[in-house]
Amino acid sequence: MIAQASSSFTRFSWRRVGAMVLRYFYLLRGSWPRILELAYWPTVSMVIWGFITQFLAGNSSVVAQAGGIFLGAVLLWDVLFRGNLGLSLSFMEEMWSRNLGHLSVSPLRPGELLAALVVMSFLRTLIGILPAALLAIPFFGYSVFELGLPLLAFFTLLMMSGWAIGMAVSALVLRFGLGAESLAWVLVFAIAPISGIYYPIDVMPGWVQMIAWAMPPAHVFEGMRSIMFGSGVRYDLLLSAAALVVVYVALAATFFLYVFHVARRRGLLLNMGE
Amino acid sequence: MSHPAIHVANLERRFGDVLAVHDVSFTVPTGVTYGLLGGNGAGKTTTISMLLGLLLPTAGRIQMLGEDMLVNRHRVLPRVNFSSPYVDLPHRLTVGENLTVYAHLYGIRHVRDRIASLARDLDIHDLMKRLAGKLSAGQKTRVALAKALLNEPELLLLDEPTASLDPDTADWVRGYFQNYQCQTGATILMASHNMSEVERLCEHVMMMKTGEIVDEGAPQELIQRYGRQNLEEVFLDIARRPHAAVEAAQ
């Protein structure tokens, strides 16, 4: 018998998830500029904010109190940004290569495709962020790893926030075609000003604060500042961020799977591509 | 209990005001090659897309290999495969990488052996390290065929399998389908508007026009019924004369 028993096709399969991860790995492996690009932008951001921090260190009491606050912020923001791009660009790769038709008639289920996109987002984020985080240590004497265990929580929460945006973007691109691909950049930057990346949430007008607190990144960046200013770990912020992330990821995944169904109803899977 | 390979009842697909497929019903027994013939816009690709689940029907039922495709699609897909020159494999992956990914998706047990065997059969051994996007039309067709045969499908759906191929390659591909069908007892349903191909390969032909099956039968039977020399003339009769099928039946 050439294939596995048919019962293995009726449930979620990590083997099929692995097959898709392999597909994206082949793609990355085949193009060193792609790998370089993953690490390039986070490193450039880190260098720019590193110099800004050095410049401000002697002139700002805030920066003097919490050295590396901008570097920590920019690295963590990149986790969210890369989490989103890692997922949505991998999905768009299927559309650019007109491969969704083949995938949709294979045993791969939309949920398995989504799981593979999440795994790839994680890997691409690591490839992108780790070099920048490590280079910040010799370049600017700042180690984001000094945040300790909460860093793991911040990383996870921000990456999952990126997944939620990436899933929504992928769903919209599936629904409206590649003309909507710029949403991968537009959506994530739309929430940047109200995420409190470089400034506290309470500097914003009251109604903007309400919107900001409804999204996980605000809780994460406030939590980061709390640690860096020596106020300790704010577990309340971590918990509220975690609760919000779960809700957003669940909503985004449901939206993605729903749009896949809509795509089959409308025949969108037949006409994908450049 | 033996099921037909495909059973379609009252299939309908509407795109806004356009009725692309209307009240299509047919049954394909196991182990045969059936053809779906028609001009551009006749509804062949739409019908095949609905069979595969790429497109949901507006109305009607589809059973494949004994399963309801609208409910148990994922039970059937591992036993089915599909090839079309209009659906590409990822261009930036090599042929070998593409086949490896799909072999894993189809749950193939001995991936390397299976790919090596297909590479030998389809003479694509030298292409394994080439990017899929750099292949000629004929090479792409052979690679697409390898992908379509990875899981040794019980049911193979082909959408214009020899479109844009030179006569020599097209002939080779047709021969391959015939061998595959003889060796495995698989069922093949092909949509085509290449009459000689259909005449050579298919035991039974369904003629589609404006989204409906207007006539069907064995190629020779149709040729006799319409009083023509070959299937191409039958096709032209049906395409150009509004009531050709009714007249032929009388």
Please state, rounded to an integer, the average pLDDT across all residues of chain B: 90
**d(Cα B242, Cα B7) in Å, to the nearest integer?**
28
**d(Cα B139, Cα A98) in Å, to the nearest integer?**
18
CB contact under 8 A, B106 and A106: yes
B33-46 confidence digits (pLDDT tens): 999 998 888 898 89
Please state, rounded to an integer, the average pLDDT across all residues of chain A: 89
The per-residue b/e assignment along A141-152, b for 16 or more CB within 10 angstroms, e otherwise, is ebbbeebeebbe
Asked if the C-beta of B67 comes within 8 angstroms of chain A's C-beta atoms, the answer is: no
Q: What is the dihedral of CA B212, B217, B220, B224, to 10 degrees?
A: -80
Q: What is the percent of chain A with per-residue pLDDT over 70, rounded to a whole number?
A: 92
Average pLDDT over residues B84-101: 90
| Residue A81 clears pLDDT 80, i.e. is over it | yes
Q: pLDDT at position B146, please? A: 93
The residues near B145 (Cβ < 8 Å, ≥ 6 apart) are B83, B122, B161, B173, B176
ipTM exceeding 0.90, yes/no:
no
Give the helix/strand (H/E) hosting B208: strand B204-209
Q: pLDDT at position A68, please? A: 75
B175-187 confidence digits (pLDDT tens): 888 999 999 999 9
| Residue A71 clears pLDDT 90, i.e. is over it | no
Eight-class DSSP state of B78 = G
Structure tokens at B204: 């039974």
Average pLDDT over residues A183-199: 90
pTM as predicted: 0.89
Average pLDDT over residues B185-206: 91
Nearest to B54 among A8, A22, A105 (CB): A105
**d(Cα A211, Cα A221) in Å, to the nearest integer?**
15
Q: pLDDT at position A149, please? A: 84
| Residue B137 clears pLDDT 90, i.e. is over it | no
Contact residues on chain A for B90, CB-CB shorter than 8 A: 23, 27, 93-94, 97, 99
Q: What is the percent of chain B with per-residue pLDDT over 90, rounded to a whole number?
A: 62
Q: pLDDT at position A274, please? A: 39
Q: pLDDT at position A9, please? A: 57
> Confidence band (pLDDT; 50, 70, 90) for A273?
very low
| Residue A272 clears pLDDT 70, i.e. is over it | no
Q: pLDDT at position B176, please? A: 87
**d(Cα A263, Cα A269) in Å, to the nearest integer?**
6
Coil, helix or strand for B103? helix
Coil, helix or strand for A95? helix
How far are the Cα atoms of A72, A81, A90, A148, A156 from residue A145, in angstroms, in the given order? 9, 19, 28, 6, 14
Asked if the C-beta of A268 comes within 8 angstroms of chain B's C-beta atoms, the answer is: no
Task: Note whether B60 and B92 are within 8 A (CB).
Answer: no
Is beta strand B33-37 parallel, antiparallel or unpaired with respect to B204-209?
parallel
Structure tokens at A111: 């949920």
Is beta strand B6-15 parallel, antiparallel or unpaired with respect to B59-64?
antiparallel
A203-222 confidence digits (pLDDT tens): 999 999 999 999 999 999 99
Average pLDDT over residues A177-183: 87
Eight-class DSSP state of A3 = B
Nearest to B93 among A2, A6, A23 (CB): A23
Q: pLDDT at position A271, please? A: 60
Most A CBs within 10 A among B80, B82, B87, B113, hence the mutation to make, goes to B87
CB contact under 8 A, B107 and A23: no
**d(Cα A136, Cα A50) in Å, to the nearest integer?**
8
**d(Cα A98, Cα A94) in Å, to the nearest integer?**
6
The residue ranking higher by pLDDT, B181 or A272, is B181
Q: What's the gap in Å between the CA of B199 and the closest CA on chain A?
A: 28
CB atoms within 10 A of CB A179: 8
Average pLDDT over residues A120-137: 93
Asked if the C-beta of A262 comes within 8 angstroms of chain B's C-beta atoms, the answer is: no
B218-248 confidence digits (pLDDT tens): 999 999 998 999 888 998 888 887 777 667 7
